[in-house]
Amino acid sequence: MYDAITRNRRKSWLLVATAFVLLMLVAEAFNLYIGGGPVGLLVAVLIAGWGTVMSYYYSDKLALAITGAREVTQEQAPQLYNVVSEMAIAAGLPMPRVMVVNDPAPNAFATGRDPEHAVVAVTTGLLERLNRDELQGVIGHEMSHVLNRDTLVTTLVVAVCGAIVVLCDLFWRFSFFGSRRSRSKGGDNGGAAAILLVLGIVALVLAPLGAALIQAAVSRKREELADSTAVSLTRNPAGLRSALEKLLEDTGIVRKTSRATAHLWIESPLDREHKGSWLNNMFDTHPPLRQRIEMLAAMESAGP
């Protein structure tokens, strides 16, 4: 199991590095088109870096605002609070803030830029459907995200991929207006402008696609790692396995969510209507629930 955890961590950081390289390539392509030179590239990188930093510090507030999560005390949700406390102790982490989302669909997520600012949230539907062992498995999964610094990894990749999309959009706009100017002037650079326009279109189409694939791949690796780590915290793979089986059976969809925060949840909260298509599966932020259940069942059969 620990070999799998190490491999997943290495692959996740490799994907983050790939996203940064892709961002630099898009920034340089944009810079070459506008003729900004080294200063233009520096400005593009600084803007992308500023967006990443802002996303790092405020992504948790965005997630909580989108989901409508509210903080609860031990008196209001004693079992949930006690289970979170147990898992925090098992992971050697500070007690996170505990929140509940008023939604009948069973789901949960963790956010926060570091363990000292962590939040664990569950839906009311999850609390109604799971027994204590199953709830412990889910909370163990969410505390594993905090322990493994997953919020840092996913926030970085989401911010970088978002910057790629913005730069590609700007690239297209500059290419469109630049090509019009070139045609109106009728200068000798028309051929070069046409080539740059083609490159801009290629960047617009392929770079956001690549960014989306990287974002989905990072999230999938993080979920597999969190499942494995949760078992090491709870010493009970059956609890999480049973919880995921209930999530698989349930067809409810979290009402307050978005693609920007879908990767945070233990199961994708987005509409399952188009699940099963190989093209849609490429962009899934989570591994298939059946695959995760099978992995946990194998760990359960293997024993301690």
The catalytic site residues sit at: 142
Asked if 119 and 69 touch (Cβ cutoff 8 Å), the reply is yes
CA distance linking residue 93 with residue 115, whole number of Å = 7
Longest dimension (CA), the chain: 76
The SS3 of residue 276 is coil
List all residues 6 or more positions away from 45 whose beta carbon is below 8 Å from its beta carbon: 24, 27
Asked if 218 and 114 touch (Cβ cutoff 8 Å), the reply is no
CA distance linking residue 165 with residue 163, whole number of Å = 5
How many whole angstroms from its chain centre is CA 86?
A: 26
Is the dihedral angle over the CA atoms 252, 258, 262, 264 positive or is it negative? negative
The SS3 of residue 108 is strand
Angle between helical axes of 132-147 and 78-91 (0-180°, round to 10): 40
The SS3 of residue 15 is helix
Left (φ > 0), alpha (ψ -120 to 50) or beta: where does 236 sit? beta
CA distance linking residue 134 with residue 241, whole number of Å = 8
The CA distances from residue 198 to 41, 159, 216, 234, in Å, are: 20, 26, 27, 54
CA distance linking residue 144 with residue 134, whole number of Å = 15
- Partner residues linked to 123 by β-bridges: 101
